[in-house]
Structure 1
Amino acid sequence: MSSSKTFDLSRFAYSKGNSSDYTSKYTPLRRSSTTPSTSTTPQLSRSNTDTDTGIDTPNKSKKRKYTYEPPESFAQLTGVPDYMTEGCDLMLVGINPGRTSATLGHHFAHPSNSFYSCLYESGLTPTKLRPQQDYTLPVLNYSITNLNHRPTVTQSQLSKAESRAMVPELCWKVHKYKPKLVALVGKSIWDDVHFVFKSNSFNYDYRLDNKDKKVNIVEKSGDCDHTAGFLLQNFKIVHDDNNESLFFTLPSTSGLVAAYQKEAKVRAFKRCKQTLDRIKESSLDTSTMHIVDSVTLAQTFAHLDQR
């Protein structure tokens, strides 16, 4: 196995506050009403997908673009608490709190976010919960958390390095709460988790993995299905009691993610439920999955957390 990487979380520390006020350093300058402007504003290539919400854009003709901003830009935004239970069936993991969630103190709180509808319509919850009821998820033997704790307006205001540096903490949570299935709500979360996992797995072989990818090339259907990467991933965490935690990638439920309609997202959530049912029935073969060296990753977080 390749040597484990060390992640420095200290540079991403920030002070928590109580206000939701936020002014971006990228706020466009006001133009004179009498002097026409001939200059053009370069378009930023980063996505403006809200981390857990939809963002209202008053000027629809010129959508505001967002790019990375440091933690101090959001020091006045508070985070969102985890709601966890040990031995849970499902651990739901968001990207990070958006502005609405950070203001209200609840996960996936923006009205345009379809997270709770997807849970209900897929059969994962018996009723449609409101964001204010996120604390009741442990009653269903579910846990809910985020990969990154600090709030932003959009996901693109986090850096890749920052999100990847939070993977050891996620591994620590998986070790502590031992979920049967970890559902990552957003493909970008799996991109960051996979980047760390593939370098910290006992039986991961880049050559074999690349060979398998070439052999198992599947034509994309255009739907929110396994061909788009929304499926059970080929990695697992094995606990000291030999129970396992598997990983499933779900689509983002943000109202700004228009690549797939809500009905397609619900189908992905249904496949997640079917996978969870198979795990609970012990009818899923995990023998060929890559085993993550999660102990080392979890210890990395614990060491940094004690500094």
Structure 2
Amino acid sequence: MTRPTRDQLEAARDRAIPEVIAPGLDVVFCGINPSLYSGATGHHFARPGNRFWPTLHRSGFTPRLLRPEEQHLLLDCGLGITNMVNRATARADELSDDELRAGAVRLAELARQYRPKIVAMVGITAYRTAFGNRRARTGPQPEHLADAGVWVLPNPSGLNANYQLDDLAAEFRALRESLGR
């Protein structure tokens, strides 16, 4: 994948990227929103240094390390990806609380339409705001979106210093194991 130029990154601001989704998946991972890098490439979690793809592999969700441009292969693994807010920004803190809450409503509609077993939010702070649960912790949540369970995972961004790669993989592995996979 060719690295986007500075101009291409700036041109990606507010761009939406396509979801990777199908009916009946085991897990739909839900990012906060696309980065400018993802907006420029059209691939989820595409920014170099983002640990989503290595975490998926280390946790056993994928048989090998996938690259962002191979995101379509997730469907073969019973997995999908969407975003709470499908608008590319340089930083997630550029999103308003209202956008995050509207994203929660959109996710409920998505869960009704596609019926995944689990919607896994990747980012606890955004989850807390979107769903009004300030005390939420990582792991399974008491609420459901349609019939889908809700699970919160740490943000795999390289900026999240609270979790190293092995810690992230352990959190993702707990979700995978809860599915009997």
- TM-score, normalisation: structure 2: 0.88
Check conservation: 2:59, 2:173, Cα contact below 8 A.
yes
Write the mapping of 1:289-304 to structure 2, written as runs, cut at 5 A.
none
CA distances 1:15-65 after superposition (whole Å, capped 9, x unpaired)? xxxx6353xxxxxxxxxxxxxxxxxxxxxxxxxxxxxxxxxxxxxxxxxxx
Could you tell me how far 1:193 is from its partner in structure 2? 3.6
Check conservation: 2:9, 2:37, Cα contact below 8 A.
no
Name the structure 2 match of 1:275: 178
Distance 1:139 1:186 in 2: 24
Q: Give the counterpart of 1:260 among 154, 160, 163.
A: 163
Higher Cα Rg, which structure:
1
Distance 1:181 1:100 in 2: 27
Name the structure 2 match of 1:91: 28
Distance 1:188 1:80 in 2: 22
Could you tell me how far 1:97 is from its partner in structure 2? 0.4
Name the structure 2 match of 1:141: 78
Q: What SS does the aligned partner of 1:93 have?
A: strand
Structure with the larger helix share: 2
Q: Give the counterpart of 2:8 among 3, 20, 30.
A: 20
Q: Relative to structure 1, is the Cα distance of residues 21 and 99 closer, same or farther in structure 2, using a 3 angstrom cutoff?
A: closer
Q: Relative to structure 1, is the Cα distance of residues 110 and 75 closer, same or farther in structure 2, using a 3 angstrom cutoff?
A: closer
Name the structure 2 match of 1:232: 140
How many residues matched? 174
Name the structure 2 match of 1:107: 44
Check conservation: 1:95, 1:148, Cα contact below 8 A.
yes
Could you tell me how far 1:247 is from its partner in structure 2? 0.6
Aligned residue type for 2:52: F
Matching of residue 122 in structure 1 with residue 59 in structure 2: yes
CA distances 1:214-245 after superposition (whole Å, capped 9, x unpaired)? xxxxxxxxxxxxxx81110111244xxxxx31
Q: Relative to structure 1, is the Cα distance of residues 235 and 78 closer, same or farther in structure 2, using a 3 angstrom cutoff?
A: same
Could you tell me how far 1:77 is from its partner in structure 2? 4.9
Distance 1:96 1:128 in 2: 22
Q: Give the counterpart of 1:78 among 15, 20, 36.
A: 15
Distance 2:42 2:141 in 1: 31
Check conservation: 2:13, 2:36, Cα contact below 8 A.
no
Could you tell me how far 1:162 is from its partner in structure 2? 1.5
Q: What SS does the aligned partner of 2:151 have?
A: strand
Q: CA RMSD in A?
A: 2.0
Aligned residue type for 1:265: L
Name the structure 2 match of 1:246: 149
Aligned residue type for 1:247: V
Q: Give the counterpart of 1:190 among 119, 127, 131.
A: 127
Identity fraction in percent:
32
Could you tell me how far 1:252 is from its partner in structure 2? 0.4
Unmatched segments (≥5 aa) in structure 1: 1-18, 23-73, 199-212, 214-227, 239-243, 281-307
- TM-score, normalisation: structure 1: 0.53
Unmatched segments (≥5 aa) in structure 2: 1-6
Structure with the larger strand share: 2
